[in-house]
Structure 1
C-alpha cells in the first residue's frame, strides 16, 4: 500500500497510508485499556460475588453472558465492521461504542453494593453483616454481563483494525503488538487488584454497604475507567483509518446481511481455518477452569480460607485472593516478555510446534496445581493455625505456577489470531473482521461449557477446585496431541500463521 491518492476509472481512490512501527504500536493502545478491566474481572469478581452470597458452585454462572453474547456479537460485529462505510472508519465506531458500554458496566459493578442497599438489601453495616446480599449480587452479575458484551463488541474490530493498518509490518507484528498491550493492561489491572489501599487513599469510597474489600474493588474499577478513556483517545488519534467508501467507492455487498450472512460464512472459510478453530477450542477449554477460579483457588485451597466462614477464614481467603492477584501480575510480566520473543521462536520451531508445547506446558501446570491443593489440604488438616500463616513452600510454588503460565498464555493470545488474520488476508483480505469474529466463537463455546459445568462438576466431588483443574490437565494434554494431528504441517502453513512472509 502506498500513501495519498491513486487515479481510477471512476475517480480518485484513497489508499490506506503506511504507518511507522511506532505509530502502529499506539494504534492498539485501547487493547491495554480494555484488558485493564478484564484483568480486574478475572482476579476480583469471582471472589467478590461469593462475598455477596452467591455459592461457590454457582459462581461460574456469572460468566455465562460473555460467551453467550460472544457467539453472536463477535462475528456479527466483525462482519458489520468489514462493511462499515462511515467516514470515521470501519473499525473505530464499534471500538468507541464498546468502550462506552465497558465504562458503564465497570461503574455498575463497582457500585453494586451501594445500589443493592438502595434497593432493599440489609441496612446493617457491612463490617458486621456477613449474610447474603442478593440484590447487590444481581446488580453485580448484570454489570458483569454488560462488561462482557462490551468486551466482545471491541475484540474483533480492534484486531481487524490492526490487520488493516499493519501494511508492510504484517500480521505477525500486529498480533505481537496486540499481545503486548494485553500484557501491559494485565500488569496494571492485576497490580491495581492486588493493591489493598484504595480505601485508605480514597476513604469516600467506603459506605455503610461497602467496606474495605468492596471499596478497593470500586477504586480499582474507577481507575480502569480513566485509563480506558486515555487509551481510547490515543488509539483514535493514531489509528487514522481510511473509510471503506474512500478505499473503494465502487464496492457493493451482494451478500445477505445479518445473522444469515454470518452462518453462510462458515461454508466459505479460508483453507486451514477449521483446524485453527478446533485447536483453539480445545486449548481454551483447558484454560478456562484456571482463568475462572485462579484467585479463588489461592484463597480457598492454598491459603485455606473461606469467603463465608469464620473471621479467620475470611481473612485468610482475602489474603489468598490478594496473593492470587499478585500471581496474575507475575503471569502478565512473563506474558509481555514472552510475546516479544515469540516471532523468533516460531521462526525456528514453527508456530505449530510452539502451540503444541504451550498445551503441554498447561497440562503440566494444571497437574501441579491439583497436587498443590492436595498437599495444602493435608497441611491445614494437621495444623489449623497455619490457615492465615506466612508464605510456605506450597504458596511459593503456586506463585511460580502463576508466573510460568505467562508463556503458554502469550502463545494463546497471539498465534491463533495471527493464524486467522493471515488466512483471511491470503483469501483476499475482505473478511478479516468476520474471520476473527468466527475465531471468537471457538473461544466462547468452551467458556459456556466450563461456566455451566465447572461448578456442578466440582460440587459432584465436593472437593473444591480439584476436579476442574484435574480435568483441565487432561484436556490440555489431549489438545496438544490433537494439535499435532490436525494442524497443517510446516512449512505449508507455518508462515501463514503470521510468523513470516507469505510465500
Structure 2
C-alpha cells in the first residue's frame, strides 16, 4: 500500500493470474537469447584460440562479457522503467538487443575474412563485446518483464518457466556445432587464423533462432498500460505519470542511481555474497572447460595452447588439431548436458522450493554444482568408447563420457541460479523501480566475473602450470562457499518488521 500525492492510501488491485501458456509466452524469447548465449559460452574460447589467443590470456578477452553487463544492464533497466509507448515498456529494448546480438553472431566467426583490415583476434574480441552488450540489452528487460506481468503468487512459477526455456535454448545452442559436424557433415577443425565451418554456421542459425523467438514474445505479450500497471502494483498513477514525464539532468540521474545503490534492500546485499561465489565459478567453467578436457581427457599438452610455441612449429599436427576439434565438440555436448539437466530440474524447482523452502533448495543446488566441478578431476583419458547420441554415434575416451555425471550437479546449480535469487529478490523490490534494481542486481553477476577474469589466468599459469583441470576444481570450492552463504540471506517478510525495514530502505 502506498500514499498518493493527495495523501490517500493507494491500495493495489488484485493482479489477475496468467494462464500457463501466457506465462510461457512472456519468457519464450529468452529461449532464443540463451540459444545464442550458449553458442558463445561453448565456442568463444575455441574461436579465440583458433584466432591466436594464448591459454592464460583467454580470461582477459572474456572480461568484456561481464563488463558489458555492468555498464549496460543498469542503464537499460532504468530506461525501461521510464519507458511507456505504443510498443510497450520492456519490449522495445528486448527487440533492439536481439537485432544487435544477431548481427554480432553473424560477424564474430567471420573474423578471419577481415585479416586485410584488422587483426582477426582483435576483430573477434570486438564482436564478442558487441554480442555481450546486445545480450545484456535483451536479457535485463526480460527479468523485469516477468516481475511486471506475473502476479506475486505465480512469481516462482514465472522464473522457473524462464529457467526451463533458458535451458532448452542452451541445450540446442550448445549441441548445434556437434550436430552440424556429426550429422550434417560440416568440418569441425580450423586452419590457423580461421574458424571451423561448423561453428560459423551454428552462429548463423543461432542468430536466426534468437530473432524469431524474441519476436514471438514481443508480438504475443501485451504489456499493461501505465494506469492498469499502477493499479496492480499499488502505485499512485499520477505520480507514476509525472515520473515518466520528468527529464532530469545527467548529474541528477547519476545521483539518484547512487542513492538507490546505497539504499538497496538488505535481501539484495545478502544475495550479492551468494552471487559472488556462484558467478565466479561459472565464469571459470565457461572459459576453461574446453582446454581442461582437451588436456585432461584427450591428452593434449598445454604447449599446444601457447601461441609462441605454435608459431615456432609452424603448423599444428593433424592429430592435435583433430583432438582439439573433438574436445571442442564434446564441450558442446557437456554444456548441453548441464542445460538439459537444468531444464529437467526447472520443471520441479517450484514444487521443491515450496516444500523445502527457497533458501534450502538454493543452497543444496549450489552444493551439487560444487561437487560436480570438483569431480571433473576423477575423469581422465581412458579407452575409446562408442557413444550413441540418438542423432549419431561417436567414439570418445571413456573419461569424456564419464564427465556427463558431474554435469547433473552443474545443471541443478544452474537452474537454481537462474531462478531462485530472482524469486527471492523480487518480493523485496518496489514495483516502480523493478527494472533499475534488476539492473543494479546485475552488478552481483558482473563484478565476480570481472574479478575472475583478472585473476583466473595468472592463477592458472602461476599455481597450476597451465593445467586447466585444477582451476575447475577451484570453481567447485567457490560454488560450495556460495551454498554456505545462502543461509545468511533473509527473505523479505520472513522476520518481524522486515517489510517495514525494506520499505524504509527503498
Find the counterpart in structure 1 of residue 214 from structure 2.
232
Find the counterpart in structure 1 of residue 117 from structure 2.
119
Find the counterpart in structure 1 of residue 5 from structure 2.
none
Following the alignment from structure 1 to structure 2, what is the Cα–Cα distance between the partners of residues 349 and 418?
15
State whether residues 180 and 186 of structure 2, in contact with CA within 8 Å, keep that contact through their aligned partners in structure 1. no
List alignment gaps of at least 5 residues for structure 1.
1-8, 121-134, 384-388, 497-503
State whether residues 300 and 317 of structure 1, in contact with CA within 8 Å, keep that contact through their aligned partners in structure 2. no
2:331 is aligned with 1:324: yes
What aligned pairs does 1:255-294 form with structure 2 within 5 A after superposition? 258-294=253-289
SS at match of 2:222: coil
Following the alignment from structure 1 to structure 2, what is the Cα–Cα distance between the partners of residues 162 and 182?
14
1:296 shift after superposition: 2.8
2:425 is aligned with 1:423: no
C-alpha offsets along residues 271-311 of structure 1, whole Å, 9 cap, x if unaligned?
42211122122221222211222233222322123455532
1:141 shift after superposition: 0.9
C-alpha offsets along residues 157-200 of structure 1, whole Å, 9 cap, x if unaligned?
11101111113652112101110110111011012132243996
State whether residues 199 and 206 of structure 1, in contact with CA within 8 Å, keep that contact through their aligned partners in structure 2. no
Question: Among residues 469, 481, 484, which one is paired with 2:484 in the alignment?
Answer: 481
What aligned pairs does 1:298-337 form with structure 2 within 5 A after superposition? 298-305=293-300, 306=304, 308=310, 309-337=316-344
Question: Among residues 133, 136, 153, which one is paired with 1:149 in the alignment?
Answer: 133
Following the alignment from structure 2 to structure 1, what is the Cα–Cα distance between the partners of residues 370 and 175?
27
Go from structure 1 to structure 2 and tell me whether the alpha carbon gap of 1:490 and 1:264 turns closer, same or farther (over 3 Å shift): closer
Find the counterpart in structure 1 of residue 347 from structure 2.
340
What aligned pairs does 1:377-392 form with structure 2 within 5 A after superposition? 390-392=395-397
What aligned pairs does 1:123-138 form with structure 2 within 5 A after superposition? 135-138=119-122
SS at match of 1:235: helix
State whether residues 365 and 409 of structure 2, in contact with CA within 8 Å, keep that contact through their aligned partners in structure 1. no
270-279 vs 100-109, which moves further? 270-279
Following the alignment from structure 1 to structure 2, what is the Cα–Cα distance between the partners of residues 197 and 475?
35
Find the counterpart in structure 2 of residue 63 from structure 1.
62
Following the alignment from structure 1 to structure 2, what is the Cα–Cα distance between the partners of residues 136 and 463?
24
283-292 vs 154-163, which moves further? 283-292
State whether residues 28 and 214 of structure 2, in contact with CA within 8 Å, keep that contact through their aligned partners in structure 1. yes
Following the alignment from structure 2 to structure 1, what is the Cα–Cα distance between the partners of residues 18 and 459?
50
Go from structure 1 to structure 2 and tell me whether the alpha carbon gap of 1:229 and 1:363 turns closer, same or farther (over 3 Å shift): closer
Find the counterpart in structure 2 of residue 174 from structure 1.
158
Following the alignment from structure 2 to structure 1, what is the Cα–Cα distance between the partners of residues 349 and 14?
31
Q: How many residues align?
A: 451
What aligned pairs does 1:349-388 form with structure 2 within 5 A after superposition? 349-372=356-379, 375-376=380-381
Following the alignment from structure 2 to structure 1, what is the Cα–Cα distance between the partners of residues 350 and 453?
33
Alignment root-mean-square deviation, CA:
3.1
Find the counterpart in structure 1 of residue 204 from structure 2.
222
2:235 is aligned with 1:252: no
1:16 shift after superposition: 8.1
Following the alignment from structure 1 to structure 2, what is the Cα–Cα distance between the partners of residues 200 and 466?
31
Following the alignment from structure 2 to structure 1, what is the Cα–Cα distance between the partners of residues 149 and 474?
40
State whether residues 374 and 476 of structure 2, in contact with CA within 8 Å, keep that contact through their aligned partners in structure 1. yes
Normalised by the length of structure 1, the TM-score is 0.82
Question: Among residues 400, 406, 428, which one is paired with 2:405 in the alignment?
Answer: 400
Following the alignment from structure 2 to structure 1, what is the Cα–Cα distance between the partners of residues 224 and 14?
7
Find the counterpart in structure 1 of residue 291 from structure 2.
296
1:357 shift after superposition: 1.2
Following the alignment from structure 1 to structure 2, what is the Cα–Cα distance between the partners of residues 154 and 422?
23
